[in-house]
């Protein structure tokens, strides 16, 4: 069935564009400023703000989670407009990697939205052999936990880079040590950025916050964008609609989304409405694991491999 999402205000690249979208079989077939001359069923969305479905980060799901808790956790993401989840597996030793990934994939069979899987491990556990195993398992995102005793500059980063040959894995810093002062955390991150740049490794410069939409810049670096986090011709119909009357404006008059205060009126996942004013339709198993074919293929030019 073809229909038109008409006269909607699209939030894209931090600006608002008035546009209309022609939808065909749950895909965006055509976009332009006006479609007044096209004869299809129309949805008048002039009172709504359209955003891409959000990609959010989760550290809390684990393999022993009962289904009731699993559902409750996902409901918290769905009500915020999340249509893709990056779930992270904790790895203490390299030999745990395969079994823990198998457990997480089994858990995520019930996911109502699409998902990516990453791993989190200590700086010591990050080795060339583990990198190669992650590539074999189609894992393209690794969170590296940094602590006060870690000497980032003494790591054999050249060997890590060589193990990533042909398809780099993106490395992301993770600092959870509550004993570290803000100053020491900043120094750790500065050394991290220095080593990543000197060794030309695909990486994120800062720690990522769970439970909030990942920025376009982060999604580009991960290689998730534009498959996720974008409204585009040929793209998936994953979006949020916010009522403009319920939103505050920036000083320039543009609508401002506060993830803690503003909830989407509607959320679509692959063309199916899963959220209507906080009334969530939870359908286990409708989500699929997603893979990153080339990490950072739309990466900003300031970063090189």
pLDDT in tens, 53-111: 999 999 999 888 899 999 999 999 999 999 999 999 999 999 999 999 999 999 999 99
pTM: 0.93
E strand spans, 40-155: 41-44, 48-52, 54-58, 82-90, 114-122, 141-145
| Span 37-49, pLDDT tens digits | 999 999 999 999 9
| Span 144-174, pLDDT tens digits | 999 988 999 999 999 999 999 888 899 999 9
Straight-line distance from the first to the last Cα atom of the chain, in angstroms, rounded to the nearest whole number? 44
d(CA 282, CA 78): 9
d(CA 221, CA 91): 23
Residue 298 has pLDDT above 70, yes or no: no
d(CA 266, CA 238): 11
Query: Is residue 131 a contact partner of residue 125, using CB atoms and an 8 Å limit?
Result: no
Confidence class for position 274, pLDDT limits 50, 70, 90: very high
Fold classification of 2-52+230-280 (topology level): Urease, subunit C; domain 1 (2.30.40)
Q: Number of C-alpha atoms within 13 angstroms, CB side, residue 185?
A: 13
Q: Token digits for 36?
A: 């007044």
Confidence class for position 297, pLDDT limits 50, 70, 90: low
Q: What is the pLDDT of residue 304?
A: 37
Where in the sequence of the chain do the CATH 2.30.40.10 domains occur?
A: 2-52+230-280
Where in the sequence of the chain do the CATH 3.20.20.140 domains occur?
A: 54-222
* Mean local confidence (pLDDT), 264-271: 97
Q: Token digits for 258?
A: 């506060």
Fold classification of 54-222 (topology level): TIM Barrel (3.20.20)
């Amino acid at each position: 069935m073809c229909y038109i999402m008409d006269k909607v205000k699209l939030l894209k690249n931090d600006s608002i564009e008035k546009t209309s979208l022609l939808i065909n079989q749950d895909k965006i077939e055509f976009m332009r400023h006006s479609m007044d001359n096209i004869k299809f069923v129309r949805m008048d969305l002039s009172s709504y703000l359209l955003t891409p479905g959000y990609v959010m980060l989760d550290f809390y799901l684990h393999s022993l989670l009962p289904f009731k808790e699993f559902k409750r956790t996902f409901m918290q993401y769905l009500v915020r407009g999340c249509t893709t989840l990056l779930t992270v597996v904790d790895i203490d030793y390299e030999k745990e990697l395969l079994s823990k990934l198998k457990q997480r994939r089994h858990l995520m069979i019930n996911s109502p939205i699409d998902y990516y899987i990453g791993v989190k491990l200590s700086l010591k556990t990050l080795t060339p052999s583990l990198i190669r195993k992650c590539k074999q398992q189609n894992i393209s995102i690794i969170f590296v936990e940094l602590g006060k005793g870690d000497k980032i500059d003494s790591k054999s980063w050249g060997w890590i880079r060589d193990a990533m040959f042909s398809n780099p894995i993106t490395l992301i810093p993770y600092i959870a040590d509550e004993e570290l002062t803000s100053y020491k955390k900043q120094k750790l991150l500065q050394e991290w950025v220095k080593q990543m740049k000197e060794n030309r490794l695909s990486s994120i410069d800062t720690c990522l916050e769970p439970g909030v939409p990942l920025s376009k810049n982060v999604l580009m670096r991960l290689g998730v964008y534009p498959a996720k986090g974008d409204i585009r011709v040929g793209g998936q119909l994953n979006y949020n609609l916010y009522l403009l009357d319920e939103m505050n404006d920036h000083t320039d008059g543009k609508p401002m989304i506060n993830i803690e205060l503003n909830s989407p009126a509607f959320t679509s996942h692959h063309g199916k409405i899963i959220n209507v004013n906080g009334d969530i339709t939870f359908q286990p198993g409708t989500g699929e694991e997603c893979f990153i074919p080339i990490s950072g293929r739309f990466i900003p030019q300031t970063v090189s491999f």
